Chain A
Amino acid sequence: DIVMTQSPVTLSVSPGERATLSCRASQSVSSNLAWYQQKPGQAPRLLIYGASTRATGIPARFSGSGSGTEFTLTISSLQSEDFALYYCQEYHRWPLTFGGGTKVEIK
């Protein structure tokens, strides 16, 4: 299985600041990488797929980059509704695997 490692585990950021989340794959996943946001009591919401393509309705402040084994999710200016958990997921090989998550909290 491909192991997805996210860092940091917790990121403390002030509203309006930039947040940078990392996701590393144990082997290359090409650009087959998605990012999700999850709020308490809710299902994950797809933010980014293909490493850098925003899903329908996702604000432009969310951007993804990277390929191979190193990926980044950037939130350019954090809004109150962005404080949440974020997961990466590879879909390069079966079984599909997710990272352990990064919690973005208010500083």
Chain B
Amino acid sequence: QVQLQESGPGLVKPSQTLSLTCTVSGGSISGDGYYWTWIRQHPGKGLEWIGYIYYTGGTYYNPSLKSQVTISVDTSKNQFYLKLTSVTAADTAVYYCARNSDYGETHFDSWGQGTLVTVSS
């Protein structure tokens, strides 16, 4: 079973860039048909899909966040990354990395534990 682990700063200042890493173990990030995904959850709220990257580098972002988001991948390190620019308090959330369940499907059975990022001065 693949495992995912988020890492990165827990506190980011307003207007700065939030940067997170997801490290994948127990499987290759270069597997065909898998979308390496970021999802966030605002405190006490529901889930928001941010975007995904395919191992070839192809990406798709939530249009509501597209101007802020960049997702990238390093297959040699089995990691993928999230960058969110010009953050505000509204970007305070638990950020999860996840992988879809099966080839081409877009429901998620593998999740990281989540990392809380607080935007505050």
A residues near B, CB below 8 A? 1, 34, 42-46, 49, 55-56, 87, 89, 91, 94-101
Q: How many residues of chain B get a CB closer than 8 Å to chain A's CBs?
A: 21
The answer, among B49, B105, B112, for a CB contact under 8 Å with A49, is B105
Whether B112 lies near A43 (C-beta < 8 A) is: yes
What are the residues of chain A within 8 A of B96 when measuring CB–CB?
43-44
B residues near A, CB below 8 A? 45-49, 60, 62-64, 96, 98, 101, 105-109, 111-114
Q: Can you give 8 A-B contacts (C-beta < 8 A)?
A: A1-B64, A44-B47, A44-B96, A46-B108, A56-B109, A96-B49, A100-B45, A100-B46
Extra contacts besides A44-B47, A97-B49 (7): CB < 8 Å: A43-B96, A43-B114, A44-B108, A46-B107, A94-B60, A95-B62, A98-B46
Whether B108 lies near A98 (C-beta < 8 A) is: no
3 residue pairs, one from A and one from B, having the closest CB atoms: A43-B111, A34-B107, A91-B106
